[in-house]
Structure 1
Amino acid sequence: MNSQLPAPLQQQMAELLGDGWLSDDAARRQYGQDNSRRYALADAVALPRNIEQVQAIVRACRQHRVAIVARGSGTSSTGAAIPYQGGIVLSFERMTRIVALAAADRYAIVEAGLINAQLQQAAGEHGLFWAPDPASADVSTIGGNLACNAGGPRAVKYGTSRDNVLGLTAVTGSGEVIRCGSLTSKDATGYDLTHLLVGSEGTLALIVEATLKLLPVAPHRASLRALFVDVGSAAAAVARLMAQPVPPSMLEFMDRACIRLAREVGGADIADAGALLMVEVDGDQATLAHSLQAVSQAVRGDGLLSLETAPDEASREQLWAARRQLSPALRTIANGKINEDVVVPVSRIPALVAGVEALAAEFDLPIVAFGHAGNGNLHVNILFDPEDAAQTARAQAALPRLFALTLSLHGTLSGEHGIGVAKREFMADAFSAATLDSMRAIKQALDPDGILNPGKVLPA
């Protein structure tokens, strides 16, 4: 790829985009970083307003062999939005329309740059919501959510982004506009390109518009918090909870280190324990009491230390405050954080947490685990001081051990953050050579010149 843009391409983009073509140093720096704290300098930034402009940008870049990195709000923690090979960062921040919201058919058609929270607000006016609720929902875009198959606490009951998209409009690396999927929740027509593109991190095609499945908002919610003597007891409770006919709408986990941080640093009112589960149920008024009773019964078992229920909204908010205080608490004890979102089968959560505790002792670093217990998706945070070379080296050395542990437990490298560059080289440990070759063949078919987000996801 070119490290500097050809003059004809610059002129063509300036004429096409007007004030949406940025090549000053400040813009190049601003769009050269994301939430991973990685950085590379783009050659220019493109801010298209419609599908036609996106298509024209891709075709021009293909002609000149210039890389394109698509960008939403830059919330990636894996470096997926970093322009390592220069080229153009294509930001969707001006494509934010809700094209249609069909409440009767429960779908919305939106542009890629729409913020998740803005969709939730619009859908909420019709008593509906879009299921994915990542922690970054107030700032992350729908296109970004789809690019990494974002989930969140509600995924345990309502699914991830991939489970809640009906169709896509995207521009391939050859500059062709493809439309896949439909307006219906059932579709057995042809190859499922929709779900192939979700989670592909902008390496196969640029998602410009999405048809999303909306769900009715449950009118009532109730929560409970359970403390356990150890992780094994909590995991057994998770298995019982997930065996219920109606799954909880949220099921969150904290290990002993997280509980201590939430209490000592975040000021949360939590007693010392080996593990914590936060459980939420939702439904109508007639069924909520039964659902709360069912999950309360499922939580009870060997190793339970205490159980606190929150049947109304005020007490519910008080219970969930500890979960919200956790991330700020982490930032107070370490400036450096490697946040991985590994997934294991639920029955293997105790083995994962025990392995994480062993790694913390071996590498002499704080390592804490919390996350979405119902689907085994835990956020493992390796904390270190980036100004301390020895701590940084130990943190980097602990990372491959974490991934090896996860894979040995028949888990997977990412549940919702994606691969980007942070986990790219570990893909060879997760998949066979034949499987990776199949992925490369798909990449070649949709992006024949390799201009879309080069160097991401697939190992060299």
Structure 2
Amino acid sequence: MLPAEFIKSLQNLIPSDRLYFDPVDCYAYAYDNSRKFFPPECVIFPLTTDETAKTVRLCNQFKIPLTPRGRGTGTAGGSLAEQGGATLSLEQMTQIISIDPPNRALVTEPGVLNETIQAAAKPHGFFWPPDPSSAAFSTIGGNLATSAGGPHAVKYGTTRDHVLGLTAVTGKGDIIKTGCYTTKGVVGYDLTRLLIGSEGTLAVITEMTLKLTPLPAAKSGLVAHYQDADSCASAIVSIMKEPQGPSALEFLDSGSLNLIRARNPELLPSDSQAMLMIEVDGTEHEIPETTAKLLAACQNSGLLKAVSVQNTADLWKVRKTLSPLLRDIAPKKINEDIVVPVDKIPRLLAGLSALCKQYQIANVNFGHAGNGNIHVNLLIDPDNPSESERAYKCLDQIFDLVISLNGTLSGEHGIGSEKRPYIGKELNDATLTLMKQIKLTFDPNNILNPGKLFP
């Protein structure tokens, strides 16, 4: 239970309409997209950096675990209050502070939705490149917490590449400023990139300066269908060899296509066993030449059909139908966002197929092929102990496969609690020890999102 003195001090700090203590109210903050439940004992809604700092100091004083949270769209359990205590919801910090077209910058609070940022930048001829599939629901703060990517990361990079500076509150309650307002700056350590992707374990980000990118003048697309995954994987390697590459390159395997066909048979050819969705952007002059080169790169003996798509919105209809369909067919999915070098994708897909066959686990694979970022979905019934056991044994070997291919365990979802047992496969003891020391420098009492990341 929370100490009475802590509750009284918190009520003196934060107005009652921005505090939840009732378990019914708190329950809405007990889960994220990992589908696990850890109810906090209270939920706090700060509006300013100063309120956030005072809240962190108060939690330090009473050693209360404090879990920062955006909209809870993450899949790795990073925003769950595993150790109880308080959840710090930043969802009411929703001000876009400034938009500065000459300097290609936008300053915002963390509770603003990704989609809102895009809408604000667009009239000025700019956009913010990170575009996770949850853009309509996920906050900018949450995007920074996991260094979100999305389909267009193949050309534009992930969140770390598009943030100039931050204001943040450390686990001690100190207010720090990192980075700078300019696109050039080499003063001190790069704490901005350190905090991005740290999943709320080092500091609470309360303001961010985003680097905007000019909107492309034109877009076009291609759809390519293959008779098998091997042919499709070979095409991915050929496409990414082209210097004038795609702005997005998405892969869908036979399991993905079968799911879509079952609900929307008109969207896909009946004989397609693997599919690429390719987007190209640039000037009106560049588009035809780039499209022609990528169309040539798609050609191999397994190609069934490759066609141009003028309306790129149509290109993403297929992709966006997948996640809801996965929820319909399986009580639970183990959703991983592994990454391998692009030229290792053929070996990865072959290995995934062999492992899932060995352990008799249904799986669906799709994702951002241009980065080698494949979303592996193991579909299981959690009420079947034997199936769950087989699935986690399969997952363990999938991670071993990824590391053997010089890959990484997470491309954009983060570690949170879901991948926590496996982080030692990628990071050695000396590296983990240094990371823990950094954590305690920022957060000496280990109150910020305690227990996350490290096994």
- Match status 1:431 vs 2:427: yes
- Match status 1:124 vs 2:116: no
Alignment of 1:14-413 (within 5 A): 14-18=11-15, 19-267=17-265, 268-310=267-309, 312-313=310-311, 316-413=312-409
Unaligned stretches of 5+ residues in structure 1: none
Q: Could you give the per-residue CA deviations for residues 278-300 of structure 1, whole angstroms, max 9, x where no partner exists? A: 10001222222222112112222
Q: Could you give the per-residue CA deviations for residues 383-415 of structure 1, whole angstroms, max 9, x where no partner exists? A: 112333332332233221221121121111000
How much does 1:24 deviate? 0.7
**Aligned to 1:305, what secondary structure does the other structure show?**
strand
**Aligned to 2:377, what secondary structure does the other structure show?**
strand
Identity %: 45
**Separation of aligned partners in 1, 2:211 and 2:290:** 25
How much does 1:259 deviate? 2.1
Instruction: Note if contact 1:117-1:137 (Cα within 8 Å) is conserved in structure 2.
Output: yes
Moved more, 239-248 or 154-163: 239-248
Q: Could you give the per-residue CA deviations for residues 45-77 of structure 1, whole angstroms, max 9, x where no partner exists? A: 100010000000000111111111000000111
Instruction: Note if contact 2:227-2:271 (Cα within 8 Å) is conserved in structure 1.
Output: no
**Separation of aligned partners in 2, 1:86 and 1:266:** 43
The answer for the alignment partner of 1:7 in structure 2 is: 4
**Separation of aligned partners in 2, 1:55 and 1:325:** 41
Q: 1:291 to 1:370 in 2, by over 3 A?
A: same
How much does 1:133 deviate? 0.5
Moved more, 203-212 or 259-268: 259-268
How much does 1:15 deviate? 1.6
Moved more, 102-111 or 388-397: 388-397
Q: Could you give the per-residue CA deviations for residues 295-339 of structure 1, whole angstroms, max 9, x where no partner exists? A: 1122223432211111x22xx433432222222222232121111
Residue identity opposite 1:353 in structure 2: L
Instruction: Note if contact 1:339-1:379 (Cα within 8 Å) is conserved in structure 2.
Output: yes
- Match status 1:421 vs 2:417: yes
Moved more, 79-88 or 361-370: 361-370
Moved more, 292-301 or 259-268: 259-268
Instruction: Note if contact 1:226-1:305 (Cα within 8 Å) is conserved in structure 2.
Output: yes
**Separation of aligned partners in 2, 1:171 and 1:156:** 32
Q: Could you give the per-residue CA deviations for residues 12-39 of structure 1, whole angstroms, max 9, x where no partner exists? A: 1112111111111112211111111111
How much does 1:366 deviate? 1.2
How much does 1:347 deviate? 1.1
**Separation of aligned partners in 1, 2:255 and 2:385:** 24
Q: Could you give the per-residue CA deviations for residues 233-285 of structure 1, whole angstroms, max 9, x where no partner exists? A: 32332223222233211100112222222223443323323421110001222
The answer for the alignment partner of 2:436 in structure 1 is: 440
**Separation of aligned partners in 2, 1:167 and 1:432:** 30
Q: 1:266 to 1:455 in 2, by over 3 A?
A: farther
Moved more, 167-176 or 236-245: 236-245
**Separation of aligned partners in 2, 1:107 and 1:309:** 34
Q: Could you give the per-residue CA deviations for residues 346-387 of structure 1, whole angstroms, max 9, x where no partner exists? A: 111111111211222122221111100011000000011233
TM-score calculated relative to the size of structure 1: 0.95
C-alpha RMSD over aligned residues: 1.4
**Separation of aligned partners in 2, 1:326 and 1:443:** 37
How much does 1:118 deviate? 0.6
Instruction: Note if contact 1:220-1:282 (Cα within 8 Å) is conserved in structure 2.
Output: yes
Instruction: Note if contact 1:128-1:214 (Cα within 8 Å) is conserved in structure 2.
Output: yes
Moved more, 399-408 or 375-384: 399-408
Residue identity opposite 2:151 in structure 1: P
Moved more, 148-157 or 352-361: 352-361
**Separation of aligned partners in 1, 2:290 and 2:179:** 35
